[in-house]
Amino acid sequence: MSLPVETLAELREIAARYPEARSGLLPMLHLVQSVEGRVTAEGIETCADILGITAAEVSGVATFYTMYKRRPVGDYHVGVCTNTLCAVMGGDAIFERLKDHLDVGNDELTERRPEDKCTVSLEHVECNAACDYAPVMMVNWEFMDNMTPESAVQLVDDLRAGTEIHSTRGPRVVTWREAERVLAGFPDDLADEGPAAGAPSLVGLGIARTNGWTAPPASADAGSGRTADSKEEAVEQADTSRAETETKQEDSDA
Amino acid sequence: MADTLTPVLTDNWGDERAWTLASYEARGGYRALDKAFSMAPDAIIEEVKDSGLRGRGGAGFPTGMKWGFIPQDNPRPKYLVVNADESEPGTCKDIPLMMASPHTLVEGVIISSYAIRANKAFIYIRGEVLHVFRRVQRAVQEAYLAGHLGKNIHGTGYDLDVVVHAGAGAYICGEETALLEGLEGRRGQPRLRPPFPAVAGLYASPTVINNVESIASVPSIIANGHQWFASMGTEKSKGFGIFSLSGHVKNPGQYEAPLGITLRRLILLAGGMRDGHELKFWTPGGSSTPLLTAEHLDVPLDFEAVGAAGSMLGTRALQIFDDSTCVVRATLRWTEFYKHESCGKCTPCREGTWWLVQTLSALEKGQGSEADLDMLLDQCDNILGRSFCALADGAVSPIASSIQFFRDEYVAHLTGGGCPFDPALSTAWAGQEVNA
Amino acid sequence: MTLTSDSGATERTDLVTLTIDGVQVSVPKDTLVIRAAEQIGVQVPRFCDHPLLAPVGACRQCLVDIPDAGNGRGFPKPQASCTLPVAEGMVVNTQATSEVADKAQQGIMEFLLINHPLDCPVCDKGGECPLQNQAMSNGRGETRFEGYKRTFPKPINLSPQVLLDRERCIVCQRCTRFAEEIPGDPFIALVERGAMQQIGIAEDAPFLSYFAGNVIQICPVGALTSEDYRFRSRPFDLVSTPGVAEHDSCGSAIRVDHRRGKVMRRLAGNDPEVNEEWITDKDRFAFHYATESDRLTYPQVRDRVEDGGDGRLRPASWPEAFAVAARGLQAAGATGVLTGGRITAEDGFAYSKFARVALGTNDIDFRSRPLSAEETAFLAAEVVLRSSVTYADLEQASTVVLAGLEPEDEAGMVFLRLRKATRHGTTGVLAIAPGMTRGLAKLNARLLRTAPGAEAGALESLVEHARHGVDKNSIILVGERLATSPGALAAAVTAAARTGARLAWVPRRAGDRGAVETGCLPNLLPGGRPVADPVARVDVASAWGVDHLPDAPGRDADAIVAALLAGELGGLVIGGVDPDDTADPAATRAAIEAASFVVALELRETDVTRGADVVFPVAPVVDKAGTFVTWEGRPRSFEQVFASPSSLPDLRILAGIAEEMGRPLGFRTVAEARAQMEEIGPWDGDRATLEGLEPATPSQPGQAGGDFALSTWKLLVDNGSMQDGDKAYRATGRAPVARLSQAAYDAHGPTVTLTGDRGSVTIPAEPADLADDVVWVPANSFGNGVLADLASPGSRVTVTKGADQ
């Protein structure tokens, strides 16, 4: 076991944040990635030892979540959203262009050319909750909004050249390992960088302001808004058939 | 019928450094907290019940009622878990909320935890949004320093600790019991119910799991009263919500409005469809809600009316597609998503999505026959309601609804030997440049 | 048996009445719908469901229609009957009466089959496959799937024994749920996600569980196979015979599957009162010993030099061998009998009667391992005829105390039942042991840390300390290792008496308890009759039709060895004894050498048979009927699987010799022996007591020895000769290591040399939860074992840094 002792201490520190240590596993694996560059067999064993569970159990978790990588990723991990909306809005074209430009396939790492300062890995990602900025890319899980094939090519070229890049709605983009460390719960000092919101996030607010629209004043009274008095009624109003099943089952138990 | 916007949650997003405690408190933030502390916990639950707030994560279950299910005579600790795993395709409201005003969420967490008598709360944020994670973490840190969190909050004797937890890439963790599994350091696979989380959730203890927007709505309800909240919205869908418009409208973005506003109105506010194109299909609440078309433009966007129209309000994730978009391509891509995100636990979802993708991709390439469409529908029938959780139900929604509305377009793929659409025409930059 | 009206009333109030396929049925509350349906004869198809595993609802095959959940409203969609408890007034329609349910099930089956290879004709499971069978009964005739199937490189070794063909797997999770829930060995887990989800192990961490083979048996498809059985035969070519496992005192029901006179595999039988549906890997895979090349297949006699022969063993006919043995024993004079602990109760009865009637002696002992006079008295006073603790009782107990017993290694089914009790019930386990082990940790045991040899004090403390929670709802289980811990058995008896706890003795070998019951002890006659009791002797003598039985107190095994060496005994009848298992292997070997005439009854050629004057090949359990008595005192009878002319049951051999000696035993067959045992029955007179018992003393009291107390027991998988013949099985055993405290490990590890009064061994070490002056090694996992190569029972050893490897 050759993870640095400081890392072992930090792994234990993560586990100690939770009422039950195993809850720390997801952030612990993020930390393993920040140190090892991926989830290694050694990292899995170390987490298992600390948590008192088997390596198979840790392995089951490490292979379930897509952010955990078993092969090395680049200094900058570039994601292109190709879920339907972004794909239609141009994500597919961007992804094709980048594969071609970088000469890699999905979830692959670029070769480091003599002139490169940094490596880049490419992956198509699922919806990242920024559809109003479509097509969207991510670099080390920072938003790169409203991309085009051209801006995407420029972006990866800049990343490989080691040029400092800023997220369109966030801070200076840190390396993938640094990002993984933040996700493990060890903050860097970048929370205050970047804007509060991009333009699309504010578009409705702007229209409201322009038109003088606001929510009603606090004095408005429409009586009780209670929409359902019984669990059953609530369930019938709720959208999921799942919820319906639940309550009926509960009732049948009674 | 609502036709104006009502910024509440989005109201401060344009403020200078809106994410900071100073900015939030400058406009009255954390004042609801003191009001809440002056109330009995049960009174807060009643207030939220009376407001009519229904879960903003998609299902629309009454939030106050959910809180009321927590058995207060259970000696185990109670937990609040915030579902910030926003991943449903098209849904993009919680992420900007936490980015711009994380303190709204934190204040909501404190009030909600106090109401259900939890001393520990978790905010489970999907891992793929690093800066949002930073902002929420910083907000929690600031709240501790300001005495809004920790021991003896505001001198009330009430203690609360909040842990901000990063997920690691799994759509299924948006399902509340799968989220609990993830939070317990396990594979995010949904749990058998009963027991329900309210009785045995996190660490087998009574647990409330609420969506970000639901919790963020709580401070305004406490501050302004349930009547205020209930004065907005429709008969059974009270209050306001963030409507997320994306796709082929001129100004995609976040529009906060009372429930019941129509898509026609929202598209108008968004500057209309792209020039030269017409609305073809849209999702009312993410890709798991059956597609609707232009004939549904006047359906009030509340739980009841959208349901009556054959779909679901879901997360108000309005993905707008115009006539340049191939519905078969769109549906195939969503189906690939569900296949990718299927947790693998149950047969119909794991194997069904595997098969659906193969059938759909053949159809998209113009291979197969019209009989395959009926087989596809039969596969959907064998999946819908047969799986362990609702993921697979969502997976068949776009397929069944797209065949319902656009069967001819599927047939055109077969008769034309492939897709008749030029994907370049649907891109964001179509018409702006010659080559793509 | 009659039920009281009380219990009837209780049952009625707990019943729930529902309607399934139009048939009303009443079942206990909390019954799952899938099992309620079985009550009316409807088999709802299922894969993930297993009655001994927690419901999971994963495969969705068991969907049924519920038009009324018992509250007047139905479920809008079909429900999984394996996770749904019954409710009063519920209406269930299965595939038998509901098109909705039938279509739902066919839909699921179709999904399961799209990625399942159509290799049934070459699959081991073909012919006994739940997927194949239910696809026929509840599936579509033809597939509609025309796409590409999921494939994997095949197969992967989950362990040296268990292989996984991933493309056949339907991810029902029975195996992973078993591993986690039943033995607590989650070394296999679901890995990957979605359509690529599969069963996996971590890198370099194979599925090494003593109970791993069970996953093969419960796999509903052919995904899991054993190296041992894979590709060996087809289920429909096999004949199945029920049996009882011969490897421990648990009495597990097994199923022996054989073809043309050869055992092809063994499976767990289903006995809810004993092993439920599980067995150890030893019970499953260790059967090849009976077909090893050194198996004895004909009698042999030695042409003695003094009689003009060449001094070698030569083949002989059975009648000649009987005659030679009879003559030799008569000539040898006083003779002792060592039976070993693997005999059936019938064979034990024969040895017992042979000793008393044919040889006129009480010098008989089944214990071919360290023993003590304290134990001899304890067995007569507290064990024989007692059956106050059952497996089911373990689940009801408030506290189960373990002393001198490591259940995972020494009594696998006791371990599984205790684990079940501690997982689902309110049972706590308190272990009197030198340190926490993996097995004890899986029982969530509390440890009463006790150095080897100091168990008596710990047992005495149970009475004084309420915190141990030992009361009348408790059970104390003592292992055979307590025999050499001075005063421990007596202290256990006292503790049980004073707390009201029940006491049970859990020996290691299948024949041990039966040997106690049949009188293979110097102080006991069959049926628990004390040798010292004249009435008991007369009782047996009259039953046997002899004038009298020997009244001189007999010698125990150690004394028999000493007497042979001293020339006080001349003859020896010895069966199934490995000298290296005995308290003093060198002395035992010397005693065999010193004996003037040795009759050996053995399965395979051994050092004992090589030195014997007459060698009889005895039948292995597969070739004879018999009875093993479990640690609970529960008789477990089994019938013979094969009729093999090359060997005979011990009792038939003993009968043959006795007849030649002119003192017939009165039976020649197992059935006849059983009839005699039945006729004699249990003793209803006074039993022996522990009054005036001298506590056992360490064999070398006060010896200088080393700094470390030696703790040792046999691992479940070790070098035992009845585990020979399956390399894959052996490879699943735990590597032999010396376990030391962290401090001692740091000082002496990673390889240590242990030196005791019998020799030195150098083996790898690992840190463990032990006191700084205790070292543990496995008893029979290296060399000739601890007793032969390292140290005498209870002695101390020195530990030094081993040579670099």
Residue-wise pLDDT tens digits, C377-431: 999 999 999 999 999 999 999 999 999 999 999 999 999 999 999 998 789 999 9
Q: Per residue in B23-55, pLDDT tens?
A: 999 999 999 999 999 999 999 999 999 999 999
Chain B, residues 96-125, CB within 8 A of chain C, namely: none
Chain B CB within 8 Å of residue C77 CB: yes
Name the least confident of B56-65, B211-220, C306-315, C589-598: C306-315
C772-784 mean pLDDT: 97
Contacts of C85 in chain A (CB under 8 A): 253
**Looking at residue A236, what is its pLDDT?**
66
Chain C, residues 191-230, CB within 8 A of chain A, namely: 191-193, 200-205, 207
Phi and psi at C4, nearest 5°, equal -75, 160
Cβ contact A59–C190 (<8 Å): no
C705-734 mean pLDDT: 95
Q: Please determine, for residue B345, whether its predicted confidence score (pLDDT) is greater than 90.
A: yes
**Looking at residue A140, what is its pLDDT?**
98
Contacts of C90 in chain A (CB under 8 A): 252
> For chain A, which chains pass the contact test of at least 3 CB pairs under 8 Å?
B, C
- List Cβ neighbours of C498 (8 Å cut-off, separation of 6 or more): C463
If you average pLDDT over every residue of chain C, what do you get? 94
Residues A176 and A229 reside in one and the same domain: no
Residues A31 and A105 reside in one and the same domain: no
CATH number at residue A30: 1.10.10.1590
**Looking at residue C698, what is its pLDDT?**
52
Cβ contact C111–B345 (<8 Å): no
> For chain B, which chains pass the contact test of at least 3 CB pairs under 8 Å?
A, C
Contacts of B62 in chain A (CB under 8 A): 226-228, 234
DSSP string, A50-80: HHTS-HHHHHHHHTTSTT--SS---SEEEEE
Of B100, B254, B334, the CB nearest to A203: B254
B228-235 mean pLDDT: 96
Residues A107 and A194 reside in one and the same domain: yes
Chain C CB within 8 Å of residue B347 CB: yes
Contacts of B169 in chain C (CB under 8 A): none
Cβ contact C195–B342 (<8 Å): yes
Chain B, residues 50-109, CB within 8 A of chain A, namely: 50-55, 58-62, 65, 77, 86-92, 94-96, 99-101
The answer to whether residue A207 is domain-embedded is no
Which residue of chain B is at minimal alpha-carbon distance from A29?
A: B168
**Looking at residue A1, what is its pLDDT?**
53
Of B339, B344, B386, the CB nearest to C104: B386
Contacts of B257 in chain A (CB under 8 A): 204
The answer to whether residue A205 is domain-embedded is no
Q: Please determine, for residue C702, whether its predicted confidence score (pLDDT) is greater than 60.
A: no
Contacts of A138 in chain B (CB under 8 A): 128
Domain, as residue range, for A81: 76-200
Q: Are C183 and C213 in contact (CB under 8 A)?
A: no
Q: Are B281 and A88 in contact (CB under 8 A)?
A: no
> Pick from A26, A42, A64: which residue ends a domain?
A64
- List Cβ neighbours of C620 (8 Å cut-off, separation of 6 or more): C289, C290, C603, C647
Q: How many CB atoms lie within 10 A of CB C320?
A: 13
How many angstroms away from the CA of B40 is the closest CA of chain C? Answer: 35
pTM here? 0.96
**Looking at residue C665, what is its pLDDT?**
97
Cβ contact A225–B227 (<8 Å): yes
How many angstroms away from the CA of C119 is the closest CA of chain A? Answer: 28
Residues A158 and A87 reside in one and the same domain: yes
Residues A93 and A161 reside in one and the same domain: yes
What are the CA-CA distances from residue C405 to residues A94, C209, C513, C715, C772 (Å)? 67, 19, 16, 12, 21
Cβ contact A250–B196 (<8 Å): yes
Contacts of A244 in chain B (CB under 8 A): none
B91-111 mean pLDDT: 98
- List Cβ neighbours of B378 (8 Å cut-off, separation of 6 or more): none
Cβ contact C90–A45 (<8 Å): no
> Pick from A43, A64, A85: which residue ends a domain?
A64
Residues A116 and A228 reside in one and the same domain: no
Q: Per-residue confidence at C221, pLDDT binned at 50, 70, 90?
A: very high
How many angstroms away from the CA of B346 is the closest CA of chain C? Answer: 4
Q: Per residue in C288-320, pLDDT tens?
A: 999 999 999 999 999 988 888 899 999 999 999
Q: What is the mean pLDDT of each run of 10 residues along chain A (254 residues)?
A: 91 98 98 98 98 98 98 97 98 98 96 96 97 98 98 98 96 98 97 97 98 87 66 65 40 36
Chain A CB within 8 Å of residue C84 CB: yes
Residues A88 and A193 reside in one and the same domain: yes
Contacts of A143 in chain B (CB under 8 A): 129, 131
What are the CA-CA distances from residue B115 to residues A229, B213, B218 (Å)? 19, 17, 11
The answer to whether residue A209 is domain-embedded is no
Residue A246 one-letter amino acid: E
Of C503 and C8, more confident:
C503
Characterise A14 by phi-psi region: left (phi > 0), alpha (psi -120 to 50), beta (else). Answer: alpha
The answer to whether residue A253 is domain-embedded is no
The answer to whether residue A101 is domain-embedded is yes
Contacts of A55 in chain C (CB under 8 A): 187, 202-203, 205
**Looking at residue B243, what is its pLDDT?**
98
**Looking at residue C181, what is its pLDDT?**
98
How many angstroms away from the CA of A69 is the closest CA of chain C? Answer: 12
B157-185 mean pLDDT: 98
> For chain C, which chains pass the contact test of at least 3 CB pairs under 8 Å?
A, B
**Looking at residue C464, what is its pLDDT?**
81
Chain C CB within 8 Å of residue A199 CB: no
How many angstroms away from the CA of A62 is the closest CA of chain C? Answer: 8
**Looking at residue B58, what is its pLDDT?**
93
Residues A83 and A182 reside in one and the same domain: yes
Residue C296 and residue C283: Cα distance in Å, rounded? 22
What are the CA-CA distances from residue C192 to residues B177, B345, C503, C573 (Å)? 19, 11, 48, 60
Residues A141 and A243 reside in one and the same domain: no
The answer to whether residue A177 is domain-embedded is yes
**Looking at residue A241, what is its pLDDT?**
45
Per cent of chain C over pLDDT 90 is 92
How many angstroms away from the CA of C56 is the closest CA of chain B? Answer: 7
Contacts of C87 in chain A (CB under 8 A): 252-253
Q: Please determine, for residue C3, whether its predicted confidence score (pLDDT) is greater than 70.
A: no
Of A56, A251, A253, the CB nearest to C189: A56
**Looking at residue A245, what is its pLDDT?**
39
Contacts of A241 in chain C (CB under 8 A): 76-77
Contacts of B386 in chain A (CB under 8 A): none
Of C58, C192, C196, the CB nearest to B346: C58
Cβ contact A63–C200 (<8 Å): yes
**Looking at residue A218, what is its pLDDT?**
84
Q: Where are the alpha helices (H) located in chain A, listed in sequence order?
A: 5-16, 25-36, 41-51, 55-62, 84-86, 92-102, 149-161, 176-183, 199-211, 231-237, 241-253
How many angstroms away from the CA of A114 is the closest CA of chain B? Answer: 30
Q: Cα(first)–Cα(last) distance of chain B, in Å?
A: 42
**Looking at residue A226, what is its pLDDT?**
73
Cβ contact B170–C193 (<8 Å): yes
Dmax (CA) of chain C? 96
Chain C CB within 8 Å of residue B377 CB: no
How many angstroms away from the CA of A38 is the closest CA of chain C? Answer: 15
Q: Where are the alpha helices (H) located in B188-297, listed in sequence order?
A: 197-200, 212-224, 226-230, 263-269
Phi and psi at C226, nearest 5°, equal -105, 145
Q: Bridge-partner residues for B254, per DSSP?
A: B244
* ipTM > 0.85 for the complex: yes
Print burial letters for C489-498: b (CB count within 10 Å at least 16), e (below 16): bbbbbbbbee
Residue C460 and residue C473: Cα distance in Å, rounded? 18
Residues A129 and A243 reside in one and the same domain: no
**Looking at residue A249, what is its pLDDT?**
39
Candidates B192, B351, B377, B379, partner chain C, best to mutate (most C CBs within 10 A): B351
What are the CA-CA distances from residue C547 to residues C355, C356, C520, C665 (Å)? 15, 11, 21, 14
Chain B, residues 143-182, CB within 8 A of chain C, namely: 170
Cβ contact B196–A246 (<8 Å): yes
**Looking at residue C469, what is its pLDDT?**
82
- Domain count of chain A? 3
Give C32's DSSP letter.
Answer: B
Residues A158 and A104 reside in one and the same domain: yes
**Looking at residue C699, what is its pLDDT?**
46
Chain A CB within 8 Å of residue B300 CB: no
Residues A87 and A196 reside in one and the same domain: yes
What count of CB pairs under 8 Å joins A to C? Answer: 71
Of A45, A54, A63, the CB nearest to C186: A54
CATH number at residue A110: 3.40.30.10
**Looking at residue A230, what is its pLDDT?**
73
**Looking at residue C704, what is its pLDDT?**
54
The answer to whether residue A186 is domain-embedded is yes
Chain C, residues 113-152, CB within 8 A of chain B, namely: 114-115, 144-145, 147-148, 150
The answer to whether residue A9 is domain-embedded is yes
The token pair that represents B22 in the structure block: 């100073």
Chain C CB within 8 Å of residue A64 CB: yes
Q: Are C199 and C169 in contact (CB under 8 A)?
A: yes
Cβ contact A127–B87 (<8 Å): yes
Residue A104 and residue A117: Cα distance in Å, rounded? 18
Q: Please determine, for residue C51, whether its predicted confidence score (pLDDT) is greater than 50.
A: yes
